[in-house]
């Protein structure tokens, strides 16, 4: 792997300039979120009503021979409103805002689904270990709400095998709050662009049961023109100890998300005034793609119920999970409406055992996962005059099924060495039926075996090293199997076509380390993935009408995921205060290894992103200025002809715990009001006059209060 040393050296130096003690409070917070704390074993215990517990989650991540994250949401000092708040400052996770509200940020892990705008595949999203993705692999990322989560575990890349992930990006598992640890509270927030957020939660427990309920609403006018958004949700769960060995928990969720889409503009307009949209001027392109007339937006609802049962006896644990959800989604771009209705069902049985069976300490894991989606999607042309629906030019039924069997053996080779052998057997089907005629019918079946071999060296209780070689196989979603084409000048000629796609396969080699020495903590992983038949999506001149193909010549995804937390000083200004720094650096070198774009960077992800935070805490007062630096210009097309500019964003978070019940906080983003582009659409070749860029939001501020009863 070739890495330009100047960038990495600069970032490492910035974090390691510090030298003293990280305060007890922050050390505990960081250790809890990174899994570098003392050695933990789960051994022959009674069932836990709230599972996994924090200790279980940390212990599980320590057994993974690869890159992982654990984020303790309850200890985030300020806002918890968006996924950017929760996941935007983590190694290996790259978040690109859409337009800053409760929308659909681009989520990337190791190049997962990086073609999409919005991203709708490439990572397995889960609530409490149960898939939020539909069975074809697609997801609506706005349904993830960090306000109801106690913690988030991330399994980067092929390390998501435990949860049935077959994706290049791995798995993100949001673990819900529950009545055994949460308290009743109310949270209110107000910010720039008339953003108003309110949430309240109730929680409690009895001798053998507990409950948790959260209701929230969030709305904003938006920074750009035509970018209003609103989201409301209710979520909760109730748990029971049936007896000493059996625990059960039922989860429910309802969410309603709506947002306008200001859409992309040419780069010159993004630089001139980032608030402008197509339709704010009187050019031929403005008249053709007038946002105010065409009214692009997304309106989505989900109703979901799930149940988890755990049976623990001696050193054996059984878990049975079932989930059912209904999703209604109207996704309207400037040219067409995608109207989707889906019923999704999922089942998982997992078995784990610990004991001295073959080595000094063995752990066996077996799981059977099955999920199914019955979906219908209508493709309806948009009226260019008022955005209303014209003719339905495609109406398809989708039937997606997955059957996944996973097995893993973790053996204690020696006192400090562990061997992990695992494999995943996957059968996926993607069937399409045409409800209008017999032209668009397709039955696809994808079978794969995904092995993994890993090694962990536990140098001490606080330091471990890992290495693995693993594979994934990712079947295409219906967003890729079906392409729609609509002319902005002649919507009556709209049509759909089916794409004959193979699965995207990858083999990844990874090494890394997690640990701490004195006041320095780190989390680092280096990886290289050879990807065959990568699913490459390219949009047309008008930033829609995309089509996906397998890139048969091969692609390479390689990079570095680094976090360093460094204590600087205790008792700096007064007794008991502390100062520390946190550096996150993500290096992403994704390129074509042959074919039409041989040697070019795959468009979609910046090569270098560095984030640095300086954190000061004195008792109940907290302040943390930070900077995000996108180092280089980033190609937005595979020909590497047009680029997103590099940028630097300065931010500030402050919080004050007034008393045991009341906390107030402030969050400021892009304080210097830098004009930059946060995201873009991806083409094979992008001309400068084409609408391609989503401008980032300017200086924004929010204040909030949280009161706990």
Average pLDDT over residues 255-266: 94
In this predicted structure, what is the pLDDT of residue 457? 97
Residue with the larger pLDDT of the pair 348 and 162: 348
Query: Distance (Å, rounded) from C-alpha 2 to C-alpha 532?
Result: 21
pLDDT of residue 314: 85
Lowest mean pLDDT among 119-123, 150-154, 177-181, 338-342: 119-123
1 pLDDT more than 60: no
pLDDT value, residue 642: 95
Q: What is the pLDDT of residue 47?
A: 60
Residue 217 in this model has a pLDDT that exceeds 70 = yes
Residues 76-99 have pLDDT tens digits of 887 777 788 888 899 999 988 876
Q: Is the pLDDT reported for residue 121 higher than 80?
A: yes
Longest dimension (CA), the chain: 77
Q: What is the pTM of this model?
A: 0.91
Give the per-residue pLDDT at 479. Answer: 94
User: Stretch 511-532: mean pLDDT, rounded?
Assistant: 97
Statement: residue 235 has pLDDT above 70? yes
Beta-bridge mates of residue 381: 336
Mean pLDDT of 179-192: 95
Quote the pLDDT of residue 101: 58
* Mean pLDDT for the stretch of residues 510-528: 97
Give the pLDDT score at 120.
Answer: 84
What is residue 574's predicted lDDT score, i.e. its pLDDT?
87
Check pLDDT > 60 for residue 27: no
Per-residue pLDDT at 257 exceeds 60: yes
The pLDDT tens digits for 135-147 are 999 999 889 888 9
Give the confidence band of 610 by pLDDT, cuts at 50, 70, 90: very high
| Assigned CATH topology for domain 5-708 | Maltoporin; Chain A (2.40.170)
pLDDT value of position 5: 39
In this model, does residue 38 exceed pLDDT 80? no
Span 399-410, average pLDDT: 96
Mean pLDDT of all residues belonging to the chain: 89
Which long-range contacts (C-beta less than 8 Å, at least 24 apart) are formed by 37-44?
37/462, 38/461, 38/462, 39/458, 39/461, 42/354, 43/315, 43/354, 44/314, 44/315, 44/354
pLDDT digits (tens, 9 = 90+) for 457-478: 999 999 999 999 999 999 999 9
DSSP assignment, residue 267? H
- Does residue 11 carry a pLDDT above 60? no
β partners of residue 272:
none
Q: What angle do CA 632, 637, 640 make, to 5 degrees?
A: 60
User: Residue 292 pLDDT > 50, yes or no?
Assistant: yes
Asked if the model's pLDDT at residue 30 lies above 80, the reply is: no
89 vs 563: CA distance, rounded Å? 9
Task: Evaluate if residue 388 carries a pLDDT over 60.
Answer: yes
pLDDT score recorded for residue 480: 94
The yes-or-no verdict on residue 345 having pLDDT over 90 is yes
> Which residues are within 8 A (CB) of 137 and not within 5 positions of it... i.e. 6 or more apart?
121, 167, 474, 475, 476, 477
Contact partners, residue 266, CB within 8 Å, separation at least 6? 285, 688, 689, 690, 691, 692, 693
The dihedral built from the CA positions of residue 34, 41, 24 and 512, taken in this order, carries a sign that is negative
When pLDDT is cut at 50, 70 and 90, the band that residue 100 belongs to is low
Domain boundaries, the chain: 5-708
Mention every residue, 6+ apart, whose C-beta is less than 8 A from residue 523: 34, 36, 67, 69, 91, 512, 514, 561, 562, 563
* pLDDT at 53 (0 to 100): 83
Mean pLDDT of 167-173: 91
The whole-number pLDDT of residue 16 equals 36
pLDDT at 25 over 50: no
421 phi, psi to nearest 5 deg: -120, 135
Q: Tell me: pLDDT of 685 over 70.
A: yes
Q: Which of 400, 395, 375 is nearest to 439 (CA)?
A: 395
- Following DSSP, what letter does each residue of 466-485 receive, concatenated? EEEEEEEEEPPPHHHHEEEE
pLDDT at 573 over 70: yes
According to the 3-state scheme, what is the secondary structure of 171-206? EEEEEECCCCCCCCEEEEEEEHHHEEEEEEEEEEEC
């Amino acid at each position: 792997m070739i890495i330009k040393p100047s960038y990495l050296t600069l970032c490492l130096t910035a974090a390691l300039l510090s030298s003293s003690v990280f305060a007890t409070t922050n050390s505990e917070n960081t250790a809890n979120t990174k899994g570098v704390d003392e050695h933990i074993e789960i051994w022959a215990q009674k069932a836990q009503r709230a599972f996994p517990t924090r200790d279980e989650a940390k212990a599980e991540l320590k057994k993974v021979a690869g890159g992982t994250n654990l984020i303790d949401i309850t200890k985030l000092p300020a806002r918890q409103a968006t996924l950017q708040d929760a996941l935007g400052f983590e190694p290996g996770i790259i978040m690109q805002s859409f337009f800053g509200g409760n929308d659909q940020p681009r989520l990337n892990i190791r190049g997962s689904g990086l073609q999409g705008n919005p991203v709708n595949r490439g990572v397995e999203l889960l609530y409490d270990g149960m898939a939020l993705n539909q069975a074809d692999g697609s997801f609506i990322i706005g349904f993830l709400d960090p306000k109801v989560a106690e913690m988030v575990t991330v399994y980067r890349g092929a390390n998501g095998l435990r949860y049935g992930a077959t994706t290049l990006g791995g798995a993100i598992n949001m673990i819900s709050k529950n009545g055994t640890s949460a308290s009743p509270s109310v949270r209110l927030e107000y910010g720039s662009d008339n953003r108003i957020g309110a949430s309240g939660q109730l929680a409690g427990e009895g001798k053998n049961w507990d409950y948790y309920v959260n209701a929230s609403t969030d709305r904003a006018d938006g920074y750009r023109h035509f970018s209003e958004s609103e989201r409301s949700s209710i979520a909760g769960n109730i748990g029971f100890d049936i007896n000493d060995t059996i625990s059960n928990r039922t989860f429910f969720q309802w969410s309603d998300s709506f947002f306008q889409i200001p859409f992309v503009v040419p780069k010159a307009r993004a630089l001139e005034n980032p608030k402008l949209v197509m339709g704010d001027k009187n050019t031929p392109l403005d008249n053709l793609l007038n946002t105010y007339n065409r009214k692009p937006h997304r309106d989505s609802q989900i109703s979901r119920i799930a149940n988890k049962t755990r049976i623990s006896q001696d050193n054996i644990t059984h878990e049975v999970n079932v989930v059912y959800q209904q999703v209604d989604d109207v996704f309207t771009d400037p040219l067409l409406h995608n109207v989707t209705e889906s019923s999704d069902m999922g089942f998982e049985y997992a078995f784990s055992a610990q004991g001295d069976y073959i080595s000094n300490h063995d752990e066996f894991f077996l799981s059977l996962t099955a999920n199914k989606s019955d979906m219908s999607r209508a493709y309806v042309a948009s009226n260019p005059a008022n955005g209303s629906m014209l003719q339905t030019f495609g109406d398809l039924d989708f039937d997606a099924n997955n059957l996944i069997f996973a097995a893993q053996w973790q053996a204690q080779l020696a006192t400090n060495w562990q061997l992990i052998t695992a494999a995943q057997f996957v059968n996926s089907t993607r069937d399409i039926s045409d409800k209008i005629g017999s032209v668009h019918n397709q039955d696809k079946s994808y079978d794969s075996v995904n092995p993994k071999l890993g090694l962990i060296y536990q140098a001490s209780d606080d330091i471990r090293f890992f290495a693995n070689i693993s594979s994934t196989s990712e079947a295409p979603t219906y967003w890729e199997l079906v392409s729609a084409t609509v002319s902005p000048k002649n919507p009556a000629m709209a049509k759909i076509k089916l794409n004959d796609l193979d699965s995207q396969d990858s083999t990844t080699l990874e090494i890394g380390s997690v640990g701490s020495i004195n006041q320095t903590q780190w989390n680092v992983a280096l990886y290289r993935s050879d990807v065959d038949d990568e699913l490459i999506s390219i949009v047309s001149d008008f930033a829609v009408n995309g089509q996906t193909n397998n890139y048969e010549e091969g692609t390479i995804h390689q990079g570095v995921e680094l976090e360093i937390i460094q204590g600087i000083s205790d008792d700096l200004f007064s007794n008991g205060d502390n100062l520390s720094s946190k550096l996150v650096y993500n290096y992403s070198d994704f390129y074509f290894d042959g074919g039409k774009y041989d040697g070019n960077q795959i468009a979609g992800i910046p090569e270098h992103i560095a984030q640095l935070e300086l954190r000061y805490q004195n008792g109940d007062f907290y302040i943390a200025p930070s900077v995000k630096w996108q180092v280089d210009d980033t190609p937005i097309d595979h020909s590497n002809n047009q680029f997103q500019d590099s940028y630097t964003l300065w931010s500030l978070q402050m919080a004050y715990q007034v008393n045991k019940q009341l906390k107030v906080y402030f969050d400021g983003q892009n304080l210097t009001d830098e004009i930059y582009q946060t995201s873009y659409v991806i083409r094979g070749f992008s001309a400068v006059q084409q609408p391609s860029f989503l401008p980032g939001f300017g200086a924004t501020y929010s204040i909030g209060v949280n009161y706990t009863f």
